[in-house]
Structure 1
Amino acid sequence: MRATFDTTHLLRAVDDLDTVRAVLVDPDELRADLLRLHGMAHTLINGGALSATSVDETITELAADIEAELESMSALLLTIRQRIRPLLTLTPDDG
């Protein structure tokens, strides 16, 4: 492990987590986007009342933007997981 594991990967994991935290600590924009998407979907799918929006974008564009943001956060979390996974081999044998 000493010859193959670079501990700076763990520091990069901290940076990745900070990126995700920046969105999660103040999720107002993502929350607002999800609520706006709900309003659009409700109107389109359920025939609900048309909600006023100042943004000129389609439901598809908004859904794609939200998906891209979530995918980016997911990718960072998976990267963190991959960075720590080699350390699991250091578990001492119980026997």
Structure 2
Amino acid sequence: MTDTSNTISTAYGLVDSAALDELQASFDTSMLLRIVDEIDAAASAARGENSLREMVLRLHAMSHTVINGAGMSVGTDAETLPELADTIVDDLRETATRMRTWIAKLEPLLKLEPRH
């Protein structure tokens, strides 16, 4: 059961009053809009020519040929299979780091959950 003496009713539900006071003094809500811009940029980078999506599809085609003996479906004039895998892993690590940063910026909002 929620202790209502420590909560405030808002248009978006009950929140912990102490956490709300803290966030009102320290949380920059415009940072959420910057995250939206970063998400848009990441989504754009993940699609299109030479995007992460296209690189993974090319890696699949190369792997399918080398590992499964399938016919070639992409050219051999670009990077090697290990080089492409390395590029993709680096890109995914950068994406994961960016996502961890977003999570850290959003986590203070979890303090608004009323204590039970």
Query: Do the aligned partners of residues 76 and 49 (structure 1) sit closer, same or farther apart at CA in structure 2, a change above 3 Å counting?
Result: same
State the SS of the aligned residue for 2:79. coil
Q: Which has the higher helix share?
A: 1
1:59 offset after TM fit, Å?
0.4
1:54 offset after TM fit, Å?
5.7
State the SS of the aligned residue for 2:87. helix
Aligned partner (choices 7, 13, 16) of residue 38 of structure 2: 16
Q: Which residue of 2 aligns with 1:82?
A: 104
Q: Which has the higher strand share?
A: 2
TM-score (norm 1): 0.72
Conservation of the 8 A alpha-carbon contact between 1:37 and 1:59: yes
* Aligned AA (1:46): N
TM-score (norm 2): 0.62
Identity %: 39
Q: Which residue of 1 aligns with 2:95?
A: 73
Aligned partner (choices 28, 35, 59) of residue 57 of structure 2: 35
Structure 1 CA distance, aligned partners of 2:66 and 2:25? Answer: 58
1:82 offset after TM fit, Å?
0.8
Structure 2 CA distance, aligned partners of 1:52 and 1:21? Answer: 25
For structure 1, list consecutive stretches of 5 or more residues without a partner in the other structure. Answer: none
